Structure 1
């Protein structure tokens, strides 16, 4: 007789245990089965001791969370649909009406927009501080300050702050500090051990990471993470995460897990190529300034040296240039359009090099004193040949003549 659909759905075959391969299995689930009612009532998702529902975790998501804790030196991890979702989750979990959040003026733009939009609508105030002057951060902390965002290096302009002093200031004031650690990727420095070997450990409270960038490495996945060491703080974040119904797709988790084994190799390659091209840009007469933390004249270079110990593998594959003010925005746009190997696109960390012109005046409260006047362009260096990328830049610069 023909097979029944019931037989196909309730099939009694179970694969034998003991299968092992380079990549972990991919478990997709909304519904999770319980062996009996007693187990359903006893299983607990908050401590990862069991599985209860797809949003609360599967073997696949638990595996990535644990590996990210190892990468950044944390204890607990949450996965969210993007880096911005990680930032928003921290804000929603920790801030209430009447509270204040402090943000560096060179922070990731959507973080600032979140504070100016949704947070302000909910009665949460914000102020921007100068990331290169720790005393400005200290002066702006008030009894209403509940959260301070840190970023190393800064978005687009790549200034490297005195992160150690910033964290000390937050600790002394009893204010939670959250670091956007996407640039460092868990490799440039350890956010939960900022002074390795020191008798006085220094750590951020929260590290958020856009896994979209280097951990994935393919330019085809959106995901973020929130890593902590403190169990109570993690639970505040986790309960908010649960109430918001945030989840990530198993196949996206698989992609990030596949990217992690090559993360350090890729990060080093991006780093070395970006440094070589940034050094070459220093020789070009078209640029008023080249911004890369490893360059001696780049803002915050000394702080980068202290925290990242110099040397290859301790800087992301990003750098920016500021064209001399003689060049118009139209000319700079033509330069970007003239590049053949650099695609015009946001984000970074993938195999393809990217270029993006920015109107910095619209991104800062005022023009930073440490930056030359002119039009800024940011490069994300991919995994192409450095010689080919250099030739592409040179050819596009000739269009300015």
Structure 2
């Protein structure tokens, strides 16, 4: 009689020989979850190469699911190589850690994504990497700050929160003249509004690196954190990929599956967000409570002409800000935001639910800007609700909390 405490012998279950037949195809990509990857022989293990996606060696180095997502993102953005990271901020940090060393300097636009500036002021400074902020609307200011220690210049189009659209081709030219690499936070453009690797449509003007928060439009659900780093130069890609490997970065298979499932609809969703944002921006432009609409596609907005030159698609995403009249106190603006019902208070954007956040813009900037009016800024991200429903929500909150003069 067996001891009841003996462990059942499940060897046959664990090493069951059945394999499903090959040739299965369906609309969605299969989900491969792995840390360990099997090798048939020691010789095969020693010969496999993960850097060029010709084989599989370990889960962190890629699976069929992540390889497919990387290739489709390259198709979206016009790149040749891609690595996936756990968030958009991780993409920005990985670029910096892969390319910079003690004694180097990095330049960032003064209206850059706040956490990227915090990275420069925190970890990079601790590592002996200095930084400067430049005015992205003044290429001469960038040129004046470029020096023999500058190794990387970040670009952002449009700027975070205040939405100024810079002259991207000119900024890239200035960096090229000094032999400095350019990296673009391409989350807003998403590979749809413009092509980072072909800014003017002539194949001559391109950024070196496109970093993308897949959390936003590629995911589209407000439920996935992921980022990508896309390049067209193999040597540059390898520097980033090796740093990525050494940092032990990876993404979950189910998250990769979610982004893959959402990608086919990104164009439809992006255009829908765009249409609604423009309708709301137009409405805001007619309100006395608003002194400035910050939306690249709105005539007169900072950088509108640059948007027209680069975004030949005519698209402009679903993100915009408004500068409310200085007569309103912060408490009144906060009450207006609290009074919105359909707009939820929350960071990020690109999901199905419209979002709103008030910002103290002056506390976020180092340089004075003549492009943005005085007042209190509120940023809106349009979801997939109807424009009319969102306009009604804005009207009721304004009537209750932002009295006209």
Q: Given the two structures, how large is their TM-score scaled by the length of structure 2?
A: 0.97
Query: Which secondary structure does the structure 1 equivalent of 2:75 belong to?
Result: helix
Query: Which secondary structure does the structure 2 equivalent of 1:376 belong to?
Result: strand
Q: Is the 8 A contact 2:166 2:303 kept in 1?
A: yes
Q: Does 1:349 align with 2:340?
A: no
User: Which one of 140, 145, 148 corresponds to residue 143 of structure 1?
Assistant: 148
CA distance in 1, matches of 2:209, 2:123: 21
CA distance in 1, matches of 2:42, 2:181: 41
How big is each residue's C-alpha offset from its partner over 1:64-84, in whole Å with a ceiling of 9 and x where there is no partner?
Answer: 000000000000000000000
Cross-structure match for 1:39: 44
Q: Does 1:225 align with 2:204?
A: no
CA distance in 2, matches of 1:230, 1:221: 28
Shift of 1:194: 1.1
Q: Is the 8 A contact 2:110 2:367 kept in 1?
A: no
CA distance in 2, matches of 1:298, 1:285: 17
Shift of 1:366: 3.6
Shift of 1:316: 1.0
Q: Is the 8 A contact 1:294 1:310 kept in 2?
A: no
Query: Which secondary structure does the structure 1 equivalent of 2:322 belong to?
Result: strand
Query: Which secondary structure does the structure 2 equivalent of 1:154 belong to?
Result: coil
Query: Which secondary structure does the structure 1 equivalent of 2:94 belong to?
Result: helix
CA distance in 1, matches of 2:279, 2:48: 54
> Which runs of structure 1 show a deviation greater than 6 angstroms over 4 or more consecutive aligned residues?
none
Q: Is the 8 A contact 1:293 1:304 kept in 2?
A: yes
Q: Which runs of 5+ in 1 are unaligned?
A: none
Shift of 1:367: 4.0
Cross-structure match for 1:115: 120
Cross-structure match for 1:215: 218
CA distance in 2, matches of 1:15, 1:367: 64
Change beyond 3 A, Cα 1:310–1:283:
farther
Shift of 1:53: 0.2
Q: Is the 8 A contact 2:110 2:133 kept in 1?
A: yes
Cross-structure match for 2:254: 251
**Alpha carbon RMSD of aligned pairs, Å?**
1.2
Shift of 1:272: 0.6
- Output aligned runs, 1:217-296, within 5 Å: 217-296=220-299
Q: Is the 8 A contact 1:44 1:50 kept in 2?
A: yes
How big is each residue's C-alpha offset from its partner over 1:133-182, in whole Å with a ceiling of 9 and x where there is no partner?
Answer: 01111111000000000000110010000001011111111000000000
Change beyond 3 A, Cα 1:239–1:307:
same
Query: Which secondary structure does the structure 1 equivalent of 2:125 belong to?
Result: helix
Shift of 1:7: 1.0
Q: Is the 8 A contact 2:194 2:313 kept in 1?
A: no
Q: Given the two structures, how large is their TM-score scaled by the length of structure 1?
A: 0.98
Cross-structure match for 2:12: 7
Shift of 1:3: 7.9
Q: Is the 8 A contact 2:136 2:142 kept in 1?
A: yes
Q: Which runs of 5+ in 2 are unaligned?
A: none
Cross-structure match for 1:337: 338
Cross-structure match for 1:71: 76
Shift of 1:344: 0.1
CA distance in 1, matches of 2:394, 2:147: 47
Query: Which secondary structure does the structure 2 equivalent of 1:225 belong to?
Result: strand
